[in-house]
Structure 1
Amino acid sequence: MSDTPKSAFDPNPPRRNFYGRRHGKTLRQSQKGYLAEDLGDLRPRGISLAENPARRPIDPAAIFGDDRPVWLEVGFGGGEHMVHMAATHPGIGIIGCEPFINGVAMLLGKIRAAGVGNVSVHPGDARDLMDVLPDASLSRAFLMYPDPWPKARHHRRRFVTPEHLLPLARVMRAGAEFRVATDIPDYVRQTLDEVPKAGFDLIGETGTPWDDWISTRYEQKALREGRVPHYVTFRRQG
Protein backbone atom coordinates (compact mmCIF):
# COMPACT_ATOMS: atom_id res chain seq x y z
CA MET A 1 0.00 0.00 0.00
CA SER A 2 1.38 3.45 -0.88
CA ASP A 3 1.93 6.14 1.71
CA THR A 4 -0.69 8.84 1.99
CA PRO A 5 -0.29 12.33 3.46
CA LYS A 6 -1.49 13.15 6.92
CA SER A 7 -4.80 14.96 6.76
CA ALA A 8 -4.34 17.23 9.76
CA PHE A 9 -1.78 19.31 11.58
CA ASP A 10 0.41 17.27 13.96
CA PRO A 11 1.35 19.17 17.17
CA ASN A 12 3.96 16.54 18.04
CA PRO A 13 6.23 16.02 15.02
CA PRO A 14 8.83 13.26 15.31
CA ARG A 15 12.42 13.89 16.31
CA ARG A 16 14.65 13.78 13.25
CA ASN A 17 18.22 13.91 12.04
CA PHE A 18 19.65 16.65 9.87
CA TYR A 19 22.18 15.85 7.14
CA GLY A 20 24.25 18.41 5.31
CA ARG A 21 26.32 21.50 5.99
CA ARG A 22 25.18 24.47 8.03
CA HIS A 23 28.35 26.54 7.56
CA GLY A 24 30.89 26.96 4.76
CA LYS A 25 33.78 29.31 4.17
CA THR A 26 34.14 32.45 6.26
CA LEU A 27 31.51 35.05 5.48
CA ARG A 28 32.46 38.44 4.11
CA GLN A 29 31.81 41.45 6.33
CA SER A 30 28.97 42.55 4.07
CA GLN A 31 27.33 39.13 4.43
CA LYS A 32 27.69 39.25 8.20
CA GLY A 33 25.95 42.62 8.02
CA TYR A 34 23.04 41.18 6.02
CA LEU A 35 22.55 38.47 8.62
CA ALA A 36 22.73 40.90 11.54
CA GLU A 37 20.59 43.62 10.00
CA ASP A 38 18.07 41.90 7.73
CA LEU A 39 17.41 38.32 8.78
CA GLY A 40 15.49 39.16 11.95
CA ASP A 41 12.83 41.11 10.06
CA LEU A 42 12.46 38.46 7.35
CA ARG A 43 12.36 35.35 9.50
CA PRO A 44 8.87 33.85 10.06
CA ARG A 45 7.95 33.60 13.73
CA GLY A 46 6.64 30.54 15.54
CA ILE A 47 8.83 27.84 14.01
CA SER A 48 11.25 27.12 16.84
CA LEU A 49 10.25 25.34 20.04
CA ALA A 50 11.39 28.39 22.02
CA GLU A 51 8.90 30.60 20.18
CA ASN A 52 6.15 28.02 19.85
CA PRO A 53 6.47 25.37 22.57
CA ALA A 54 2.88 24.20 22.08
CA ARG A 55 3.56 23.76 18.33
CA ARG A 56 0.43 25.65 17.33
CA PRO A 57 -0.09 26.27 13.61
CA ILE A 58 1.26 29.60 12.45
CA ASP A 59 -0.79 31.98 10.32
CA PRO A 60 0.81 32.48 6.86
CA ALA A 61 -1.24 35.66 6.41
CA ALA A 62 0.59 37.16 9.38
CA ILE A 63 3.92 36.70 7.60
CA PHE A 64 2.99 38.89 4.63
CA GLY A 65 0.22 40.99 6.14
CA ASP A 66 -2.63 39.73 3.95
CA ASP A 67 -4.15 36.59 2.49
CA ARG A 68 -2.06 36.49 -0.70
CA PRO A 69 -1.03 33.08 -2.12
CA VAL A 70 2.01 31.69 -0.33
CA TRP A 71 4.76 29.75 -2.10
CA LEU A 72 7.65 27.74 -0.64
CA GLU A 73 11.16 27.16 -1.93
CA VAL A 74 12.99 24.26 -0.30
CA GLY A 75 16.76 24.76 -0.22
CA PHE A 76 17.14 28.03 -2.14
CA GLY A 77 20.94 27.76 -2.52
CA GLY A 78 22.26 31.20 -3.41
CA GLY A 79 18.78 32.67 -3.77
CA GLU A 80 18.70 33.52 -7.50
CA HIS A 81 15.51 31.62 -8.21
CA MET A 82 13.69 32.75 -5.08
CA VAL A 83 14.39 36.46 -5.66
CA HIS A 84 13.47 36.11 -9.33
CA MET A 85 10.13 34.51 -8.41
CA ALA A 86 9.40 37.26 -5.89
CA ALA A 87 10.15 39.98 -8.44
CA THR A 88 8.26 38.25 -11.27
CA HIS A 89 5.19 37.53 -9.14
CA PRO A 90 4.80 40.52 -6.76
CA GLY A 91 1.29 39.47 -5.76
CA ILE A 92 2.46 36.33 -3.97
CA GLY A 93 4.50 35.77 -0.83
CA ILE A 94 7.38 33.30 -0.96
CA ILE A 95 9.05 31.59 1.99
CA GLY A 96 12.51 30.15 1.47
CA CYS A 97 14.08 27.49 3.67
CA GLU A 98 17.84 26.94 3.71
CA PRO A 99 19.97 25.64 6.62
CA PHE A 100 23.29 26.57 4.94
CA ILE A 101 24.05 29.97 6.44
CA ASN A 102 26.34 31.04 3.60
CA GLY A 103 23.41 30.58 1.20
CA VAL A 104 21.16 32.60 3.52
CA ALA A 105 23.69 35.45 3.50
CA MET A 106 23.86 35.34 -0.31
CA LEU A 107 20.06 35.46 -0.54
CA LEU A 108 19.85 38.45 1.79
CA GLY A 109 22.29 40.35 -0.40
CA LYS A 110 20.19 39.60 -3.48
CA ILE A 111 17.00 40.68 -1.66
CA ARG A 112 18.63 44.03 -0.89
CA ALA A 113 19.81 44.48 -4.46
CA ALA A 114 16.43 43.57 -5.98
CA GLY A 115 14.37 45.51 -3.45
CA VAL A 116 11.72 42.79 -3.19
CA GLY A 117 9.48 42.84 -0.14
CA ASN A 118 7.32 39.73 -0.60
CA VAL A 119 9.83 37.29 0.86
CA SER A 120 10.35 35.46 4.14
CA VAL A 121 13.45 33.47 5.11
CA HIS A 122 13.67 30.45 7.40
CA PRO A 123 17.38 29.71 7.99
CA GLY A 124 16.77 26.05 8.79
CA ASP A 125 15.23 22.75 7.81
CA ALA A 126 12.07 22.96 5.69
CA ARG A 127 10.55 20.19 7.79
CA ASP A 128 10.53 22.51 10.82
CA LEU A 129 8.45 25.01 8.87
CA MET A 130 6.09 22.36 7.52
CA ASP A 131 5.56 21.12 11.09
CA VAL A 132 3.74 24.36 11.95
CA LEU A 133 2.09 25.36 8.67
CA PRO A 134 -1.67 24.76 8.57
CA ASP A 135 -3.20 22.22 6.20
CA ALA A 136 -3.56 23.39 2.58
CA SER A 137 -1.75 26.68 3.15
CA LEU A 138 0.68 26.69 0.19
CA SER A 139 -0.19 27.40 -3.43
CA ARG A 140 3.14 26.36 -4.98
CA ALA A 141 6.41 24.73 -3.97
CA PHE A 142 9.85 24.53 -5.55
CA LEU A 143 12.70 22.05 -5.20
CA MET A 144 15.49 23.45 -7.36
CA TYR A 145 18.68 21.43 -7.82
CA PRO A 146 18.51 19.72 -4.42
CA ASP A 147 21.48 17.97 -2.86
CA PRO A 148 21.69 14.75 -4.92
CA TRP A 149 23.13 12.52 -2.18
CA PRO A 150 24.62 10.36 -4.96
CA LYS A 151 25.65 7.33 -2.88
CA ALA A 152 22.93 4.67 -2.81
CA ARG A 153 23.08 4.35 0.97
CA HIS A 154 22.32 8.07 1.25
CA HIS A 155 19.27 8.14 -1.04
CA ARG A 156 16.99 8.11 2.01
CA ARG A 157 18.37 11.57 2.82
CA ARG A 158 16.97 13.06 -0.38
CA PHE A 159 13.99 15.38 -0.16
CA VAL A 160 11.93 13.13 -2.43
CA THR A 161 11.21 10.62 0.34
CA PRO A 162 8.02 10.15 2.39
CA GLU A 163 9.57 11.91 5.41
CA HIS A 164 9.54 15.15 3.41
CA LEU A 165 6.86 14.60 0.79
CA LEU A 166 3.98 13.65 3.09
CA PRO A 167 4.30 16.85 5.18
CA LEU A 168 4.65 18.84 1.96
CA ALA A 169 1.47 17.30 0.57
CA ARG A 170 -0.37 18.14 3.79
CA VAL A 171 0.46 21.85 3.60
CA MET A 172 -0.26 22.23 -0.14
CA ARG A 173 -3.68 23.16 -1.46
CA ALA A 174 -5.56 20.95 -3.89
CA GLY A 175 -4.34 21.84 -7.36
CA ALA A 176 -1.15 23.47 -6.09
CA GLU A 177 1.93 23.05 -8.27
CA PHE A 178 5.16 21.37 -7.16
CA ARG A 179 8.18 22.00 -9.37
CA VAL A 180 11.40 19.99 -9.27
CA ALA A 181 14.59 20.76 -11.25
CA THR A 182 17.63 18.49 -11.20
CA ASP A 183 20.46 17.34 -13.45
CA ILE A 184 20.81 13.92 -11.80
CA PRO A 185 19.02 11.12 -13.73
CA ASP A 186 18.64 8.92 -10.65
CA TYR A 187 17.10 11.83 -8.76
CA VAL A 188 14.56 12.15 -11.57
CA ARG A 189 13.83 8.44 -11.28
CA GLN A 190 13.24 8.65 -7.53
CA THR A 191 11.18 11.82 -7.93
CA LEU A 192 8.89 10.23 -10.50
CA ASP A 193 8.52 7.17 -8.29
CA GLU A 194 7.95 8.80 -4.89
CA VAL A 195 6.14 12.10 -5.41
CA PRO A 196 2.92 10.58 -6.87
CA LYS A 197 2.70 8.22 -3.88
CA ALA A 198 2.47 11.27 -1.60
CA GLY A 199 -0.63 12.63 -3.30
CA PHE A 200 0.54 14.40 -6.46
CA ASP A 201 -0.24 13.93 -10.15
CA LEU A 202 2.57 14.17 -12.69
CA ILE A 203 1.92 17.03 -15.11
CA GLY A 204 5.12 16.94 -17.12
CA GLU A 205 8.80 15.92 -17.24
CA THR A 206 10.80 17.76 -19.85
CA GLY A 207 14.13 19.30 -20.80
CA THR A 208 12.51 22.68 -21.32
CA PRO A 209 12.25 25.00 -18.29
CA TRP A 210 9.13 26.84 -17.16
CA ASP A 211 8.24 30.18 -18.77
CA ASP A 212 9.22 32.16 -15.66
CA TRP A 213 12.46 30.23 -15.08
CA ILE A 214 15.83 31.81 -14.33
CA SER A 215 18.98 29.76 -14.74
CA THR A 216 20.82 29.37 -11.43
CA ARG A 217 24.51 28.86 -10.75
CA TYR A 218 23.81 25.18 -10.05
CA GLU A 219 22.20 24.74 -13.46
CA GLN A 220 25.01 26.61 -15.18
CA LYS A 221 27.56 24.36 -13.48
CA ALA A 222 25.62 21.28 -14.63
CA LEU A 223 25.59 22.52 -18.22
CA ARG A 224 29.32 23.29 -18.14
CA GLU A 225 29.98 19.76 -16.93
CA GLY A 226 27.77 18.19 -19.59
CA ARG A 227 24.80 17.15 -17.45
CA VAL A 228 21.25 17.56 -18.77
CA PRO A 229 18.69 19.47 -16.68
CA HIS A 230 15.26 17.96 -16.08
CA TYR A 231 12.18 20.00 -15.15
CA VAL A 232 9.39 18.03 -13.50
CA THR A 233 5.95 19.41 -12.62
CA PHE A 234 3.37 17.88 -10.29
CA ARG A 235 -0.07 18.97 -9.13
CA ARG A 236 -1.45 18.30 -5.67
CA GLN A 237 -4.42 15.98 -5.80
CA GLY A 238 -7.68 16.86 -4.14
Structure 2
Amino acid sequence: MERLLPQLALDLSEPLSDDPAELFAARVDDVRLEIGFGGGEHLIHEARKAPSCGFFGVEPFVNGMAKAVAAIEGEELTNIRLYDGDAADLLDWLPSKSLLRVDLLYPDPWPKRRHWKRRFVNAENLARIHRALRPGGVFRFASDIPSYVDWTMIRVLRHGGFVWPAETVADWHEPYPGWPGTRYEAKALREGRRPAYLSFSKR
Protein backbone atom coordinates (compact mmCIF):
# COMPACT_ATOMS: atom_id res chain seq x y z
CA MET A 1 0.00 0.00 0.00
CA GLU A 2 2.79 2.44 0.90
CA ARG A 3 4.87 1.66 -2.17
CA LEU A 4 2.42 0.92 -4.99
CA LEU A 5 -0.80 2.77 -4.16
CA PRO A 6 0.74 6.24 -4.67
CA GLN A 7 1.64 5.18 -8.21
CA LEU A 8 -1.87 3.89 -8.90
CA ALA A 9 -3.89 6.55 -7.10
CA LEU A 10 -5.62 9.29 -9.08
CA ASP A 11 -4.92 12.83 -7.92
CA LEU A 12 -8.02 14.92 -8.58
CA SER A 13 -6.12 18.11 -7.81
CA GLU A 14 -4.16 17.64 -11.02
CA PRO A 15 -5.59 19.07 -14.25
CA LEU A 16 -6.77 16.44 -16.71
CA SER A 17 -6.57 16.51 -20.48
CA ASP A 18 -9.55 15.59 -22.64
CA ASP A 19 -8.22 12.05 -22.92
CA PRO A 20 -8.13 10.10 -19.64
CA ALA A 21 -6.45 7.23 -21.49
CA GLU A 22 -3.24 9.20 -20.96
CA LEU A 23 -3.41 8.34 -17.25
CA PHE A 24 -2.36 4.73 -17.86
CA ALA A 25 1.17 3.40 -18.13
CA ALA A 26 0.45 1.87 -21.54
CA ARG A 27 -1.84 3.21 -24.23
CA VAL A 28 -5.45 2.00 -23.91
CA ASP A 29 -8.27 2.13 -26.43
CA ASP A 30 -11.09 3.07 -24.07
CA VAL A 31 -11.72 3.74 -20.37
CA ARG A 32 -14.24 2.20 -17.99
CA LEU A 33 -15.16 2.96 -14.38
CA GLU A 34 -16.23 0.66 -11.57
CA ILE A 35 -17.79 2.37 -8.56
CA GLY A 36 -17.35 0.53 -5.25
CA PHE A 37 -15.31 -2.47 -6.36
CA GLY A 38 -15.35 -4.17 -2.95
CA GLY A 39 -12.74 -6.93 -2.92
CA GLY A 40 -11.83 -6.14 -6.51
CA GLU A 41 -12.81 -9.52 -8.02
CA HIS A 42 -14.72 -8.03 -10.93
CA LEU A 43 -12.31 -5.14 -11.50
CA ILE A 44 -9.28 -7.44 -11.68
CA HIS A 45 -11.13 -9.94 -13.88
CA GLU A 46 -12.14 -7.24 -16.35
CA ALA A 47 -8.66 -5.69 -16.47
CA ARG A 48 -7.10 -9.09 -17.06
CA LYS A 49 -9.63 -9.95 -19.77
CA ALA A 50 -9.31 -6.63 -21.62
CA PRO A 51 -5.68 -5.44 -21.44
CA SER A 52 -6.30 -2.82 -24.14
CA CYS A 53 -8.89 -1.09 -21.90
CA GLY A 54 -8.15 1.22 -19.00
CA PHE A 55 -10.06 0.84 -15.75
CA PHE A 56 -10.73 3.35 -12.99
CA GLY A 57 -11.69 1.63 -9.74
CA VAL A 58 -13.28 3.52 -6.84
CA GLU A 59 -13.41 2.04 -3.35
CA PRO A 60 -13.42 4.07 -0.11
CA PHE A 61 -12.68 1.16 2.23
CA VAL A 62 -9.05 0.34 2.91
CA ASN A 63 -9.46 -3.45 3.02
CA GLY A 64 -10.90 -3.54 -0.49
CA MET A 65 -8.21 -1.17 -1.73
CA ALA A 66 -5.47 -3.35 -0.20
CA LYS A 67 -6.83 -6.47 -1.91
CA ALA A 68 -6.92 -4.69 -5.26
CA VAL A 69 -3.38 -3.33 -4.89
CA ALA A 70 -2.07 -6.80 -4.01
CA ALA A 71 -3.80 -8.35 -7.02
CA ILE A 72 -2.59 -5.62 -9.37
CA GLU A 73 0.98 -6.20 -8.23
CA GLY A 74 0.69 -9.97 -8.30
CA GLU A 75 -0.65 -10.00 -11.87
CA GLU A 76 1.49 -7.07 -13.04
CA LEU A 77 -1.54 -5.23 -14.42
CA THR A 78 -0.83 -1.85 -15.96
CA ASN A 79 -4.36 -0.85 -16.97
CA ILE A 80 -5.90 0.04 -13.60
CA ARG A 81 -5.92 3.32 -11.69
CA LEU A 82 -7.52 3.63 -8.25
CA TYR A 83 -9.37 6.26 -6.26
CA ASP A 84 -10.36 5.99 -2.59
CA GLY A 85 -12.70 8.98 -2.37
CA ASP A 86 -16.22 9.85 -3.47
CA ALA A 87 -17.06 8.54 -6.94
CA ALA A 88 -19.14 11.69 -7.54
CA ASP A 89 -15.96 13.78 -7.30
CA LEU A 90 -14.19 11.54 -9.81
CA LEU A 91 -17.10 11.76 -12.23
CA ASP A 92 -17.02 15.56 -11.97
CA TRP A 93 -13.26 15.55 -12.64
CA LEU A 94 -13.47 13.41 -15.76
CA PRO A 95 -14.02 15.03 -19.17
CA SER A 96 -17.47 14.68 -20.68
CA LYS A 97 -17.99 11.76 -23.05
CA SER A 98 -14.80 10.07 -21.85
CA LEU A 99 -16.03 6.69 -20.55
CA LEU A 100 -17.20 3.65 -22.44
CA ARG A 101 -18.88 2.07 -19.42
CA VAL A 102 -19.73 2.72 -15.77
CA ASP A 103 -20.37 -0.26 -13.45
CA LEU A 104 -22.20 0.00 -10.13
CA LEU A 105 -22.34 -3.58 -8.86
CA TYR A 106 -24.04 -4.58 -5.64
CA PRO A 107 -23.88 -1.12 -4.06
CA ASP A 108 -24.89 -0.56 -0.45
CA PRO A 109 -28.73 -0.59 -0.63
CA TRP A 110 -29.25 1.51 2.49
CA PRO A 111 -32.44 -0.48 3.17
CA LYS A 112 -33.92 1.74 5.88
CA ARG A 113 -36.20 4.41 4.46
CA ARG A 114 -34.53 7.19 6.42
CA HIS A 115 -31.21 6.27 4.74
CA TRP A 116 -32.47 6.15 1.14
CA LYS A 117 -30.99 9.56 0.47
CA ARG A 118 -27.55 7.94 0.80
CA ARG A 119 -28.10 5.60 -2.15
CA PHE A 120 -25.64 6.35 -4.93
CA VAL A 121 -28.31 6.23 -7.60
CA ASN A 122 -29.98 9.63 -7.53
CA ALA A 123 -30.72 12.36 -10.04
CA GLU A 124 -27.44 14.18 -9.45
CA ASN A 125 -25.22 11.12 -9.84
CA LEU A 126 -27.12 9.86 -12.87
CA ALA A 127 -26.49 13.25 -14.47
CA ARG A 128 -22.79 12.84 -13.67
CA ILE A 129 -22.70 9.34 -15.17
CA HIS A 130 -24.57 10.49 -18.27
CA ARG A 131 -22.18 13.39 -18.82
CA ALA A 132 -19.10 11.17 -18.47
CA LEU A 133 -20.34 8.44 -20.82
CA ARG A 134 -19.80 8.51 -24.54
CA PRO A 135 -22.91 8.35 -26.75
CA GLY A 136 -23.79 4.66 -26.77
CA GLY A 137 -21.82 4.11 -23.57
CA VAL A 138 -23.33 1.80 -20.97
CA PHE A 139 -24.28 2.17 -17.31
CA ARG A 140 -24.54 -1.24 -15.62
CA PHE A 141 -26.24 -1.76 -12.26
CA ALA A 142 -26.48 -5.08 -10.42
CA SER A 143 -28.25 -5.74 -7.13
CA ASP A 144 -30.04 -8.49 -5.23
CA ILE A 145 -32.28 -6.02 -3.40
CA PRO A 146 -35.61 -5.67 -5.29
CA SER A 147 -36.43 -2.27 -3.80
CA TYR A 148 -33.10 -0.84 -4.99
CA VAL A 149 -33.57 -2.37 -8.45
CA ASP A 150 -37.00 -0.72 -8.70
CA TRP A 151 -35.57 2.54 -7.33
CA THR A 152 -32.84 2.51 -9.98
CA MET A 153 -35.19 1.66 -12.85
CA ILE A 154 -37.51 4.52 -11.95
CA ARG A 155 -34.74 7.10 -11.65
CA VAL A 156 -32.81 6.05 -14.74
CA LEU A 157 -35.92 6.08 -16.93
CA ARG A 158 -37.01 9.37 -15.37
CA HIS A 159 -33.65 10.88 -16.35
CA GLY A 160 -34.55 10.43 -20.01
CA GLY A 161 -31.01 10.15 -21.33
CA PHE A 162 -30.75 6.37 -21.18
CA VAL A 163 -32.29 3.48 -23.10
CA TRP A 164 -33.09 0.16 -21.42
CA PRO A 165 -32.86 -2.41 -24.24
CA ALA A 166 -34.16 -5.44 -22.34
CA GLU A 167 -36.86 -7.40 -24.15
CA THR A 168 -37.30 -10.48 -21.96
CA VAL A 169 -36.90 -11.36 -18.28
CA ALA A 170 -33.71 -13.25 -19.13
CA ASP A 171 -32.17 -9.98 -20.35
CA TRP A 172 -31.95 -8.71 -16.79
CA HIS A 173 -31.86 -11.89 -14.71
CA GLU A 174 -28.96 -13.49 -16.60
CA PRO A 175 -25.47 -12.27 -15.57
CA TYR A 176 -23.50 -10.10 -17.94
CA PRO A 177 -21.44 -11.95 -20.59
CA GLY A 178 -18.19 -13.17 -19.06
CA TRP A 179 -19.41 -12.32 -15.55
CA PRO A 180 -17.00 -13.79 -12.95
CA GLY A 181 -19.36 -13.53 -9.99
CA THR A 182 -18.47 -12.01 -6.63
CA ARG A 183 -18.42 -13.26 -3.06
CA TYR A 184 -21.33 -10.98 -2.20
CA GLU A 185 -23.36 -12.38 -5.09
CA ALA A 186 -22.62 -15.96 -4.00
CA LYS A 187 -23.92 -15.14 -0.53
CA ALA A 188 -27.09 -13.59 -1.98
CA LEU A 189 -27.74 -16.70 -4.08
CA ARG A 190 -27.20 -18.99 -1.08
CA GLU A 191 -29.74 -16.95 0.85
CA GLY A 192 -32.29 -17.19 -1.95
CA ARG A 193 -32.07 -13.66 -3.35
CA ARG A 194 -32.17 -13.43 -7.15
CA PRO A 195 -29.95 -10.70 -8.57
CA ALA A 196 -30.89 -8.33 -11.36
CA TYR A 197 -28.35 -7.20 -13.93
CA LEU A 198 -29.48 -3.96 -15.57
CA SER A 199 -27.79 -2.26 -18.54
CA PHE A 200 -28.69 1.20 -19.78
CA SER A 201 -27.25 2.76 -22.94
CA LYS A 202 -26.69 6.48 -23.25
CA ARG A 203 -28.87 8.02 -25.96
1:203 deviates by 2.1
Taking the aligned partners of 2:4 and 2:30, their CA distance within structure 1 comes to 23
1:221 maps to 2:181: no
1:76 deviates by 0.4
Change (3 A) 1:201 1:39: same
Could you tell me the TM-score, scaled by structure 1's length?
Answer: 0.78
* Maintained 8 Å contact 2:27/2:52: no
What is residue 168 of structure 1 aligned with on the other side?
129
- Give the secondary structure class of the aligned counterpart of 1:228: coil
Q: Which runs of 5+ in 2 are unaligned?
A: none
1:82 maps to 2:43: yes
What is residue 164 of structure 2 aligned with on the other side?
202
Taking the aligned partners of 2:140 and 2:89, their CA distance within structure 1 comes to 20
Matches within 5 A, 1:142-153: 142-153=103-114
What is residue 60 of structure 2 aligned with on the other side?
99
* Maintained 8 Å contact 1:44/1:121: yes
Change (3 A) 1:86 1:67: closer
* Maintained 8 Å contact 1:96/1:121: yes
Change (3 A) 1:93 1:67: closer
| Farther-moved stretch of structure 1 (189-198 vs 142-151) | 189-198
1:183 maps to 2:144: yes
1:183 deviates by 0.2
2:187 counterpart letter in structure 1 = K
Could you tell me the TM-score, scaled by structure 2's length?
Answer: 0.91
Taking the aligned partners of 1:155 and 1:203, their CA distance within structure 2 comes to 27
- Give the secondary structure class of the aligned counterpart of 2:2: helix
Once the two structures are aligned, what percentage of the paired residues are identical? 44
* Maintained 8 Å contact 1:145/1:180: yes
Number of residue pairs matched by the alignment:
196
The runs of 4+ residues in structure 1 deviating greater than 4 Å are 56-59
Q: Which runs of 5+ in 1 are unaligned?
A: 1-34
Taking the aligned partners of 1:113 and 1:57, their CA distance within structure 2 comes to 29
* Maintained 8 Å contact 1:100/1:124: no
Per-residue deviation, residues 49-78 of structure 1 (Å, max 9, x unmatched): xx34xxx54541221253520000000000
Matches within 5 A, 1:1-238: 35-45=1-11, 47=12, 51-52=13-14, 56-58=15-17, 59-64=19-24, 65-66=26-27, 68-198=29-159, 199-204=161-166, 205-237=171-203
CA RMSD of aligned residues (A): 1.5
Taking the aligned partners of 1:76 and 1:203, their CA distance within structure 2 comes to 25
Taking the aligned partners of 1:193 and 1:126, their CA distance within structure 2 comes to 21
2:174 counterpart letter in structure 1 = T
* Maintained 8 Å contact 1:80/1:110: no
